[in-house]
Amino acid sequence: MSARLPRISASTRAPSRADRRLAARLRRRDPQALRDLHTDLGASVFGFLRHALGDRGTAEDVMQQVFLEVWQRGPDYDPRRGSPLAWVMTIARSRAIDHLRRRIPEPRDPSGAADEDPRGDFELDELLERWRLAALLGRLPVQEADVLRRRFYEGRSQAEIAEETGVPLGTVKSRMVAGLARLREALDQEEQAA
Amino acid sequence: MSDALLTRLEALGPDEWRPEAPPALVMPPGAEAAPRRRALTLRPLPALAAVLLLLALGAGGALFVTSQDPAPSRTLTLTSLRPDGAAQGKVRLARTGGRATLAVSGLAPSRRGEFYELWLLSPPGDLVSLGSFRVSAGGRATLQVPLPVDPSRYRFLDVSVEPDDGDPAHSSHSVLRGRT
């Protein structure tokens, strides 16, 4: 198989205080650090795995492997190399690929088609990016995330959102601007070391 | 950047906009028993500021600190909805809000194709899913979940049995319930 390895970057980022604190808690083996990571990222990791693997039970099993690995590798987590979100999602991607490879009967095609992954790496990376964005959306204030969902998922205009929610149009606009700005900033921080 | 972001947002599906609650975290073996070492470091400036503040306020300072203590965590009891049921549960709402811990016992072990789900609900149909979990052969489970809403706005905490059919709605098969 010609699966690409997870991206490894030698570049570094300026970690936030929260990321440095999390790294310190993981180094000293604080179980609450793992719980906090699960609370913050669990839904996105599980969503990614469920879509990547196509089965809830399998996704649950792999999810436990991911968080076990997070715990085991926690002391080595370096926030200068990537955010906790990028780090945990990279582990999830690797474990998903492991599982997808295991369940392919080998060899699939003696003529050489065995090089093809049933769920291509490109598709998996796209899925991963979607769920990274979902994780960042989950950190927005609820009202801002709600406006963005109505606008970009339900396709409502700002005027329609104002009418549906009873919120003044000016407030809808300011929430959308604030939500997008917050999201851009979060994405910029996420992609600093990518 | 902005166009790319808008395109990415428009490409998201319903699951990404409203992610399903993840399964409960199973703590790795030994994690709970790990010593929680925390080095006590004295930072000169904050320490000096604290000393000066205490000196300035005197005994009043102690009273101020006491009165600002956060409210203690609340524990709610869930009871079985079957008259003869021995199942029960406790939900602890963290004193800082935003998080709840569920511990259940006496529930039937999870069967294949089913899982349990914790909800906040106010009849007839105001529902918020807080998280899903499985119950071991011993009938016990613990679950820690974030609270996306203020639980006092809902009348009940509810535990249901859910078929793994992809339908995010409540199955109407509740097994535990307690007032918030």
Q: Collapsing DSSP states into helix, strand and coil, what is residue A171?
A: helix
Q: For each of chain B's 180 residues, which pLDDT tens digit applies?
A: 457 899 999 999 999 998 988 998 888 877 765 444 444 445 566 666 666 665 655 444 333 333 333 455 788 999 988 877 788 888 888 756 678 888 888 898 888 888 888 988 887 777 888 888 888 888 888 888 877 778 888 889 999 988 877 777 788 888 999 998
pLDDT at A67: 95
Torsion sign across C-alpha atoms B153, B93, A46, A33: positive
- Where does the pLDDT of residue A78 fall: very low under 50, low under 70, confident under 90, or very high at 90 and above? very high
User: How deeply is B167 buried, as exposed, middle or buried, from its count of CB atoms within 10 A (0-12, 13-18, 19+)?
Assistant: exposed
At residue A83, φ and ψ (nearest 5 deg) are -70, 165
Mean pLDDT over A3-11 rounds to 42
pLDDT digits (tens, 9 = 90+) for A15-71: 888 888 899 999 988 888 999 899 899 999 999 999 999 888 899 999 999 999 999
Find which of A21, A29, A45, A150 to mutate to test the B interface (most B CBs within 10 Å of its CB): A29
pLDDT at B73: 77
pLDDT at B3: 75
d(CA B62, CA B53): 11
d(CA B116, CA B163): 9
Query: Within its chain, how far is the Cα of B61 from the centroid?
Result: 34
Dihedral through CA B79, CA B83, CA B86, CA B87, nearest 10?
-40
Residue B32: C-alpha distances to residues A25, A164, B178 (Å): 14, 47, 28
Mean pLDDT over A132-160 rounds to 93
Spatial strand order in the sheet of B126-133: B126-133, B114-122, B156-163, B174-179, B74-80, B88-93, B99-105, B141-146
Mean pLDDT over A182-188 rounds to 91
pLDDT at B126: 79
pLDDT at A44: 95
d(CA A181, CA A158): 17
pLDDT at B44: 61
Query: Within its chain, how far is the Cα of B82 from the centroid?
Result: 25
CB pairs under 8 A between A and B: 103
For residue A158, pLDDT over 70 is answered with: yes
* Closest CB from A30, A43, A183 relative to B5: A183
pLDDT at A104: 54
Q: Do A153 and B164 touch (CB under 8 A)?
A: no
Residue B82 carries which DSSP code? S
pLDDT at B1: 45
User: CA of B12: which chain A residue's CA is closest?
Assistant: A130
Mean pLDDT over A158-165 rounds to 93
pLDDT at A64: 93
Nearest CA-CA partner of A37 in A69, A70, A77, A72:
A70
Q: Do B5 and A187 touch (CB under 8 A)?
A: yes
pLDDT at A193: 54
Structure token pair of residue A31: 């179980």
The answer to whether A133 touches B15, Cβ cutoff 8 Å, is no
Contacts of A91 by beta carbon, 8 Å cutoff, 6+ apart? A66, A69, A70, A73
pLDDT at B99: 81
Structure token pair of residue A112: 């050489």
Mean pLDDT over A140-169 rounds to 93
Q: Collapsing DSSP states into helix, strand and coil, what is residue B89?
A: strand
User: CA of A46: which chain B residue's CA is closest?
Assistant: B22
Is residue B92 within a helix (H) or strand (E), and if so which, with residue range? strand B88-93
User: CA of B163: which chain A residue's CA is closest?
Assistant: A56
